């Protein structure tokens, strides 16, 4: 079966077409700047020898429907296409950001699933409407193919109530569903399963901490295969320090900013989400630049690294207590997979928890799933490349095949 995975944003459509027999990617790409006069489409296929063949075309003033139509034309192109026609696509899997309290698992899209995604718009006002647009457009272009919604929040729906409730008046939760939801669930679920496969133990018997460290960052505590805590909350702002987000702060800081600096809600939203984190501390949100600057002795960059890794260490300690026993610590995401210095600092002086890194293994120049702790260490420390698209494709296939 061939499965198309789609991630629709307000001005973009990212896609990957999988051949599920081999789990190979046949084509991948992105339509960007949808709706503007600087629109473009980048489409990549693999040559016989595996080398990527990239094609970039400008596509001005397209809407989502035109964008997906053009993607489909590239996929089915007579000379360079990877499928003959649209009916070769057996199913479409959609990344949907917020499934609220409704979805613990993916859903085959029908009217009730669409209604629920719509009902959750107040919880993800930027993302869910774009995801709905992607679903509607894909349904009209691939009317024969079942469509599946895979939710970023679903993996975290197993959190116990004491972990997801904020200590706010209970009526507020009843009225508005303000609670912790967590995000990056598809990635946490994927790397947890990959870690279990690597360790050759059933996930249902493992206690893991998974650290997704990308531009956004979150931690999850996974007990016997079920997520029992995660660092992001009602929104992705809570928890770890990120590229431009604060992570945890004293909730009274916005009152202070409003009273003393007269900041508006929108200004504070921008400050906390887009001007803070690594960028706020040292002017750089890209970890490579932060590491470069710190290596050259730049004090703000050094401070940013200190704050970033200290916060992660606190979560490792907290989640070890939550889990009562830790079998493996898993690093993933652009930073988790590629920045040995960060992994080293997150794990330093944690031998009291059985966490010890092997410096040579940590520095090894490879993209493969690997163990970076000594073989006899109490806690296996793993680097696991994430693959959210493949996870969505697998979930889609599972749903469609029953
Ligand atoms: P997103 O959350 O947008 O998917 P990624 O998971 O790709 O982002 O992570 C992006 C982050 O990974 C950036 O901060 C980038 O600097 C960092 N990163 C990527 N490669 C490296 C590397 N070799 N060393 C350090 N950081 C890296």
Cα separation, 392 vs 23, whole angstroms: 12
Q: Beta 89-96 vs 147-151: how paired, if at all?
A: parallel
Residues 208 and 62 in one domain: no
Q: Where do we find the tokens 């899997």? A: 93
Query: Of all atoms in ligand 1, which is nearest to the CA of residue 217?
Result: 2
Give me the mean pLDDT over the 252-263 stretch.
98
Q: What is the CATH number of the domain that holds 21?
A: 3.30.420.40
**Better-scored residue on pLDDT, 46 or 118:** 118
Cα separation, 320 vs 314, whole angstroms: 10
The phi, psi pair for 111, rounded to 5°, reads: -60, -40
Asked, for residue 351, whether it belongs to a domain, the answer is yes
Give me the mean pLDDT over the 160-186 stretch.
97
- Whether 298 is in the pocket of ligand 1, judged by its Cβ within 6 Å, is no
Residue in 70, 50, 380, 10 with CA at minimum distance from that of residue 209 = 380
pLDDT tens per residue, range 58-115: 888 889 999 999 999 999 998 889 999 999 999 999 999 999 999 999 999 999 999 9
Q: Are 33 and 18 spatial neighbours (Cβ–Cβ below 8 Å)?
A: no
Query: Of all atoms in ligand 1, which is nearest to the CA of residue 285?
Result: 14
Asked, for residue 322, whether it belongs to a domain, the answer is yes
CA of 217 to the centre of ligand 1 (A): 11
Strand locations in 215-369, DSSP E?
217-223, 226-230, 328-332
- Whether 92 is in the pocket of ligand 1, judged by its Cβ within 6 Å, is no
Residue in 225, 192, 227 with CA at minimum distance from that of residue 210 = 192
What is the C-alpha R_g of the chain?
A: 22
- Whether 329 is in the pocket of ligand 1, judged by its Cβ within 6 Å, is no
- Which residues constitute the domain of residue 382? 201-388
Read off the pLDDT band of 248 (50, 70, 90).
very high
pLDDT of residue 15: 97
pLDDT of residue 356: 97
Give me the mean pLDDT over the 283-312 stretch.
98
Read off the pLDDT band of 46 (50, 70, 90).
confident
Residues 225 and 82 in one domain: no
**Better-scored residue on pLDDT, 37 or 259:** 259
Q: Which of 110, 134, 151 is the last residue of a domain?
A: 151
Catalytic residue among 49, 115, 152, 248: 152
pLDDT tens per residue, range 193-230: 999 999 999 999 999 999 999 999 999 999 999 999 99
Q: Which residues pair with 349 in a beta bridge?
A: none
| Structural domains in the chain (count) | 2
CA of 105 to the centre of ligand 1 (A): 28
> Residue 31 to residues 9, 77, 131, 201: CA-CA distances in angstroms?
10, 17, 14, 40
pLDDT of residue 126: 86
pLDDT tens per residue, range 112-166: 999 999 999 998 988 999 999 999 999 999 999 999 999 999 999 999 999 999 9
Cα separation, 128 vs 98, whole angstroms: 7
Read off the pLDDT band of 307 (50, 70, 90).
very high
Residues 107 and 253 in one domain: no
Residues 205 and 354 in one domain: yes
pLDDT tens per residue, range 1-33: 999 999 999 899 999 999 999 999 999 999 999
Residues 275 and 140 in one domain: no
Helix/strand/coil for 129: helix
Q: Which of 151, 186, 217 is the last residue of a domain?
A: 151
Q: Are 1 and 91 spatial neighbours (Cβ–Cβ below 8 Å)?
A: yes
Give me the mean pLDDT over the 328-334 stretch.
98
Residues 132 and 249 in one domain: no
The phi, psi pair for 291, rounded to 5°, reads: -65, -40
Residues with Cβ < 8 Å from 283, sequence gap 6 or more?
300
Residue nearest to atom 22 of ligand 1 (CA): 338
Active-site residue 270, yes or no?
no
CA of 339 to the centre of ligand 1 (A): 8
Asked, for residue 396, whether it belongs to a domain, the answer is no
Q: Which residues pair with 266 in a beta bridge?
A: none
- Whether 289 is in the pocket of ligand 1, judged by its Cβ within 6 Å, is no
Query: Of all atoms in ligand 1, which is nearest to the CA of residue 216?
Result: 2
| Tokens representing residue 240 in the block | 């770890």
CA of 18 to the centre of ligand 1 (A): 24
Asked, for residue 176, whether it belongs to a domain, the answer is no
pLDDT of residue 325: 96
Asked, for residue 273, whether it belongs to a domain, the answer is yes
CA of 232 to the centre of ligand 1 (A): 19
Residues 230 and 125 in one domain: no
Q: Are 15 and 6 spatial neighbours (Cβ–Cβ below 8 Å)?
A: yes
pLDDT tens per residue, range 345-391: 999 999 999 999 999 999 999 999 999 999 999 999 999 999 999 99
Asked, for residue 160, whether it belongs to a domain, the answer is no
Cα separation, 116 vs 107, whole angstroms: 10
Asked, for residue 161, whether it belongs to a domain, the answer is no
Q: How many residues does the chain have?
A: 402
Query: Of all atoms in ligand 1, which is nearest to the CA of residue 278?
Result: 14
CA of 7 to the centre of ligand 1 (A): 19
| Tokens representing residue 319 in the block | 């989640």
Mutate to test the pocket of ligand 1, among 9, 152, 281, 287 (most ligand atoms within 8 A of CB): 287
pTM of the model: 0.95
| Tokens representing residue 89 in the block | 């696509």
Residues 138 and 240 in one domain: no
The whole-angstrom distance between residue 70's C-alpha and the CA centroid of its chain comes to 27
Residues 363 and 254 in one domain: yes
Residue in 92, 93, 95 with CA at minimum distance from that of residue 186 = 95
Residues 299 and 382 in one domain: yes
- Half-sphere exposure of 225 toward its Cβ, with a 13 Å CA cutoff? 8
Asked, for residue 159, whether it belongs to a domain, the answer is no
| Tokens representing residue 100 in the block | 């609220």
pLDDT of residue 241: 98
Give me the mean pLDDT over the 252-265 stretch.
98
- Whether 295 is in the pocket of ligand 1, judged by its Cβ within 6 Å, is no
């Amino acid at each position: 079966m061939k499965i198309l995975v789609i991630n629709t944003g307000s001005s973009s459509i990212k896609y990957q077409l999988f051949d599920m027999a081999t789990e190979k990617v046949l084509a991948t790409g992105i339509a960007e700047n949808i709706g503007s006069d600087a629109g473009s489409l980048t489409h990549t296929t693999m040559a016989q020898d595996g080398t990527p063949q990239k094609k970039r075309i400008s596509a001005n003033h397209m809407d989502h429907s035109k964008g997906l139509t053009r993607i489909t034309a590239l996929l089915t192109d007579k000379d360079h296409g990877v499928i003959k026609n649209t009916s070769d696509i057996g199913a479409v899997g959609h990344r949907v950001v917020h499934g609220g309290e409704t979805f613990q698992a993916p859903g085959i899209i029908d009217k009730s699933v669409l209604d629920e995604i719509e009902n959750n718009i107040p919880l993800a006002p930027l993302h869910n409407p774009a995801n709905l647009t992607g679903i509607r457009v894909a349904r009209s272009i691939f009317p024969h193919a079942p469509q599946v919604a895979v939710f970023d929040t679903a993996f975290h729906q197993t959190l116990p109530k004491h972990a997801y409730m904020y200590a706010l008046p209970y009526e507020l939760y009843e009225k508005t569903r303000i609670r912790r939801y967590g995000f990056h669930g598809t990635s946490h679920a994927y790397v947890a399963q990959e870690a279990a496969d690597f360790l050759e133990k059933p996930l249902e018997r493992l206690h893991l901490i998974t650290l997704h460290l990308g531009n956004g960052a979150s931690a999850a505590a996974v007990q016997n295969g079920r997520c029992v805590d995660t660092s992001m909350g009602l929104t992705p702002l809570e928890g770890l320090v990120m590229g431009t987000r604060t992570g945890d702060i004293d909730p009274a800081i916005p009152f202070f900013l409003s009273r003393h600096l007269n900041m508006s809600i929108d200004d504070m939203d921008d400050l906390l989400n887009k001007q803070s984190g690594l960028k706020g501390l040292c002017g750089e949100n890209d970890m490579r630049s932060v590491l470069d600057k710190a290596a050259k002795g730049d004090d703000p960059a050094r401070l940013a690294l200190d704050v970033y890794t200290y916060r992660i260490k606190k979560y490792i300690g907290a989640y070890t207590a939550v889990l009562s026993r830790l079998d493996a610590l898993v690093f993933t995401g652009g930073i988790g997979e590629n920045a040995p210095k960060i992994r080293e600092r997150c794990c330093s002086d944690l031998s009291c928890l059985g966490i010890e890194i092997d410096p040579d293994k940590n520095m090894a120049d490879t993209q493969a799933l690997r163990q970076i702790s000594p073989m006899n260490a109490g806690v296996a420390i793993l680097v696991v490349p994430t693959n959210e698209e493949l996870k969505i494709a697998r979930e889609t296939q599972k749903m469609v095949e029953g």
